Structure 1
């Protein structure tokens, strides 16, 4: 009988992949909770078994993969994922979903998207460990492909990489004004009505680019008074009367963080809506618990536009 067992171990592959992701032996060791020498020795042993150099290790410059190393890492990822799923399946009872899901989410979407997932899906599947990562599109780049993030909820204007995707809902941007602003009594607001006023700009891509593009499409240039990466800071500054905002998400609370009333007004003529998508890997078959989360997200009755 021919022995088909490989001469390398899953642990060696795991150490190599982690070192490639972290960029240094020391960082990989810290993530794996082992000594740097254990990581280095495992990679050296793997190189000896496979008969080629997989990494270039320089003390001052970290670790980089050779061409062969890149191919080994790419092939190791699905093997490691399959081994983890095998281990989890042996600990599950029947069709019960078990294991971790890392959910990536754009920060301004988090208050809308995460609560029903963490609460409702979490209650339905108590042995699924839901972990969250709030990150902008550039920070999500590559993390779906590597498996660091299983599923993410993002705006459709900037999708990192080429994942599978499905639109969940869409909302047009609205103008946000203070509750005592005369425009708060209007049925809708034209961008021409606010362009000479002070804009409190949500300065986080793609929100800032989207806001400026709405004005540019009408040949207008807004006067930006303050920039902030915080959605709630925009609402708070608007509530205090320091300017107006252009936002997409629509909280039910008609007041700012400090309690000052604000009003959401539809833009006229209507502007194109912004889509919110769920994305997941196009190269790896997602486990059952990730597929279940995507199906659950599809089933939710997401918010629809309403005029405050």
Structure 2
């Protein structure tokens, strides 16, 4: 057997540069100096006898064709090395190591507290952390390998991703106190279509709403667009318009102290699945598998958010 001339640390730095696109950002991620990382990268290229990156001042570090091929192998080696360490530590009966889970921004308040405290209590030796972002960014990070798991919506997922559902959310209507329809048990979206809609305009929530409303064959009148979940609620409570959301806070009091009314949608519309996404071709660590199963079990009974 030939002696291995590279180190796992060098592979870690290489993958970090490939995923971030710059040596400076990769060095920050790996908590090492940029010159030190650059030297390790050069030593790795020398050990492998191949150029991994084309370094350009304006474009950062761009993978060569050979670098792209090495990247897939490097990720496999790092996962297997991690699994070896994890397997050895599990001889003591407990999972250990680090796990970073992505989470769609507006889902975060509904899922992170329960998953963080519950999973950590069950597996205290796992260093669990979360990164909040939009769904497109989460999908990108899952495919690149910088994230192993992400809690997100299940529709329109990239074909390379797998998905384990943990909950399903029906749409509901938000109305100001005193609205003529606020006393109804359920509210028709058709009946509201001429009133101004406060649209929560963040992907994939926008597309999810358009798909939902499209099934009714109506065109809502957009009053305001906002990327803030809570601003939708505040504007509705002030009588500016109505809203349609999926996640439901436990309280109907807004940040500025106003009250509003939440009602189920009268029309028969599909629910939206929420779950844990992952790269289907990637072999998940035991930590990730355990987290995915824990998340599914945690929300089985009452789901994400609160019923209307």
TM-score (norm 1): 0.91
Aligned equivalents of 1:220, 1:122: Cα separation in 2: 46
Asked whether the equivalents of residues 55 and 63 of structure 1 are also in contact (C-alpha less than 8 Å), the reply is yes
Equivalent residue for 1:136, pick from 134, 142, 154? 134
SS in 1 for 2:47: helix
1:122 aligned residue? 120
2:302 aligned residue? 302
1:196 aligned residue? 194
Asked whether the equivalents of residues 166 and 303 of structure 2 are also in contact (C-alpha less than 8 Å), the reply is no
How far residue 305 of structure 1 moved from its aligned partner, in angstroms, is 9.3
1:233 aligned residue? 231
Asked whether the equivalents of residues 212 and 221 of structure 1 are also in contact (C-alpha less than 8 Å), the reply is no
How far residue 91 of structure 1 moved from its aligned partner, in angstroms, is 5.0
Mark the CA change 1:226 to 1:156 in structure 2 (over 3 Å): closer, same or farther.
same
Aligned equivalents of 1:150, 1:50: Cα separation in 2: 27
Asked whether the equivalents of residues 247 and 304 of structure 2 are also in contact (C-alpha less than 8 Å), the reply is no
Asked whether the equivalents of residues 89 and 95 of structure 2 are also in contact (C-alpha less than 8 Å), the reply is no
Q: Which segments of 5 or more consecutive residues in structure 1 lack a partner in the other structure?
A: none
> What's the RMSD between the two structures over aligned residues?
2.2
Asked whether the equivalents of residues 29 and 36 of structure 1 are also in contact (C-alpha less than 8 Å), the reply is yes
What are the within-5 Å matches in structure 2 for residues 1-308 of structure 1? 3-90=1-88, 94-300=92-298, 301-303=301-303, 308=308
Aligned equivalents of 2:99, 2:305: Cα separation in 1: 30
Alpha-carbon displacement from aligned partner over 1:8-34 (angstroms, at most 9, x marks no partner): 222222222122122122322333333
Mark the CA change 1:251 to 1:26 in structure 2 (over 3 Å): closer, same or farther.
closer
Asked whether the equivalents of residues 19 and 28 of structure 1 are also in contact (C-alpha less than 8 Å), the reply is yes
Aligned equivalents of 2:196, 2:190: Cα separation in 1: 13
Asked whether the equivalents of residues 110 and 305 of structure 2 are also in contact (C-alpha less than 8 Å), the reply is no
Q: Which segments of 5 or more consecutive residues in structure 2 lack a partner in the other structure?
A: none
TM-score (norm 2): 0.91
How far residue 83 of structure 1 moved from its aligned partner, in angstroms, is 2.2
Aligned residues: 306
How far residue 288 of structure 1 moved from its aligned partner, in angstroms, is 1.7
